[in-house]
Amino acid sequence: MTRGYNFSAGPATLPLSVLQQAQAELLEWHDLGVSLMELGHRTPPFVEMVEKVEHQLRQLLAIPADYHVLFLPGGARIQFAMLPLNLLRDRTKVDYVDTGIWSQIALQEAQRYADVHTVASAAASNYTTIPDVHTWQCRNDAAYVHYTDNETMQGVEFHTIPACDKDVVLATDMTSSLLSKPLAIDKFGIIYAGAQKNLGIAGLSVVIVRADLVGQAHPHTPTVYNYQKAAETRSLYATPPTYPWYITGLVCDWVQQQGGVAALAAVNARKAAKLYAFIDNNAFYANPVAPAYRSRMNVVFTLANPGLNETFLTEAQRHGLHYLKGHSLVGGMRASIYNALPESGVDALLVFMQDFVRRYG
């Protein structure tokens, strides 16, 4: 077997031990005589498993009791629509911060349901900074203000939770950053994340929402995606994506084994720091993001000679360094170094990048 390092932005690399456990349990799960994939979602062993996953997530992220933790089918883009449908309540207005492509897609989807106002935009810096929270023009009567914690394509991340001057409900897309750092959950009204980056595999989203905000969903909200309904049914109203839910459980086990979110955050900071330091100290490579806003999860970089991009990618792949191509909307390269991408993978990438400059620089 030649399993390399997978720098894909998503679906992304999983811890090897998670894949191995899934493999070992594929044909029969917990002595039940059937695979988990074949197990009814209302059977006691399945319900027990999902209760354990919720409990683990609550522990790992120190989620207060007055928040629901929901496990919903599909990816983050579904939540782009479900957020206004569920949280507009008696209001009509929602505020969005534009820090990159994912913020824009979230904002555009919300426009189908609400009066959307862009409170701040990083467009002027070509999305290499984050607008200071004190400049955000939040509206008093907005149902929430939304931001994208980590812009997966541009490699821009909030390193502190923005504290708005106004008392507004904070909503955030943490698809590419949840579980990568400790969080003060009580600062948020809602956090949502597709699972396929840091939490597991495609098909599932996690929504962490303050209980008092749910219960007034728009009548057109699909029942399956009604947060209140999901909270009342332990996310078991409809048949859920059972296998992705199970994988998220294995990932939670793994995060616990690593010492928890704070321990992983320290490793993540170290991984990102050495990659950025190398890029900054080497004229052949460049990263455009202002250092204070650089993502610890997605490190974008360009080569001084873009004519060498294809050579770089082909040779990287031969060295077992996979999927380093940047998003087509951004160009260049992108090393996604989520929780599950080991530090040895970053080290291997650095050796390769160094060697590449020596030969082509």
Ligand X SMILES: *Cc1c(COP(=O)(O)O)cnc(C)c1O
Catalytic sites, residue numbers = 102, 173, 197
Residue closest to ligand X when measured from CB atoms: 75
Using the rule CB under 6 A, is 176 a contact of ligand X?
yes
| Closest separation in Å from C-beta 197 to ligand X | 6
DSSP letter string over 237-256? SS---HHHHHHHHHHHHHHH
Q: For residues 337, 341, 347 and 352, what is the CA-based torsion angle, rounded to 10 degrees?
A: -70
Binding region for ligand X (CB under 6 A) out of 55-63, 173-181, 219-227, 353-361: 173-181
CA geometry: angle 12, 263, 189, nearest 5 deg: 70
In angstroms, rounded to a whole number, what is the distance separating the alpha carbons of residues 29 and 269?
36
Binding region for ligand X (CB under 6 A) out of 46-54, 69-77, 159-167, 259-267: 69-77
Q: Are the C-beta atoms of residues 288 and 262 closer than 8 Å to each other?
A: no
> Which residue in 173, 190, 247, 325 binds ligand X (CB under 6 A)?
173
In angstroms, rounded to a whole number, what is the distance separating the alpha carbons of residues 145 and 87?
11
From 29, 41, 75, 77, select the one nearest 235 (Cα to Cα): 41
| Closest separation in Å from C-beta 225 to ligand X | 13
Q: Are the C-beta atoms of residues 355 and 285 closer than 8 Å to each other?
A: no
Using the rule CB under 6 A, is 102 a contact of ligand X?
yes
> Which residue in 76, 83, 110, 206 binds ligand X (CB under 6 A)?
76
Using the rule CB under 6 A, is 231 a contact of ligand X?
no
Binding region for ligand X (CB under 6 A) out of 75-83, 229-237, 250-258, 328-336: 75-83
In angstroms, rounded to a whole number, what is the distance separating the alpha carbons of residues 352 and 356?
6
Q: Are the C-beta atoms of residues 190 and 169 closer than 8 Å to each other?
A: yes
| Closest separation in Å from C-beta 311 to ligand X | 28
| Closest separation in Å from C-beta 279 to ligand X | 21
Residue ranges of alpha helices (H) inside 168-241 are 227-232
Binding region for ligand X (CB under 6 A) out of 45-53, 74-82, 300-308, 353-361: 74-82
Taking the least distance from each CB to ligand X, the nearer of 46 and 144 is 144
| Closest separation in Å from C-beta 304 to ligand X | 28
Tokens of 348: 């291997």
Binding region for ligand X (CB under 6 A) out of 43-51, 54-62, 169-177, 224-232: 169-177
Using the rule CB under 6 A, is 194 a contact of ligand X?
yes
Using the rule CB under 6 A, is 244 a contact of ligand X?
no
| Closest separation in Å from C-beta 102 to ligand X | 4
CA geometry: angle 249, 268, 58, nearest 5 deg: 35
> Which residue in 25, 47, 58, 77 binds ligand X (CB under 6 A)?
77
Taking the least distance from each CB to ligand X, the nearer of 197 and 271 is 197
In angstroms, rounded to a whole number, what is the distance separating the alpha carbons of residues 4 and 271?
17
Taking the least distance from each CB to ligand X, the nearer of 36 and 76 is 76
| Closest separation in Å from C-beta 194 to ligand X | 3
The 3-state DSSP class for residue 276 equals helix
- What is the strand order of the sheet 285-286 is part of? 285-286, 298-303, 333-336
Taking the least distance from each CB to ligand X, the nearer of 194 and 326 is 194
- Is residue 83 left, alpha or beta, with left meaning phi > 0 and alpha meaning psi from -120 to 50? alpha
- Cα distance from N-terminal residue to C-terminal residue, the chain: 33
Using the rule CB under 6 A, is 152 a contact of ligand X?
yes
Using the rule CB under 6 A, is 162 a contact of ligand X?
no
> Which residue in 6, 7, 8, 10 binds ligand X (CB under 6 A)?
10
Taking the least distance from each CB to ligand X, the nearer of 75 and 326 is 75
Q: Contact residues for ligand X (CB under 6 A)?
A: 10, 75-77, 102, 148, 152, 173, 175-176, 194, 197
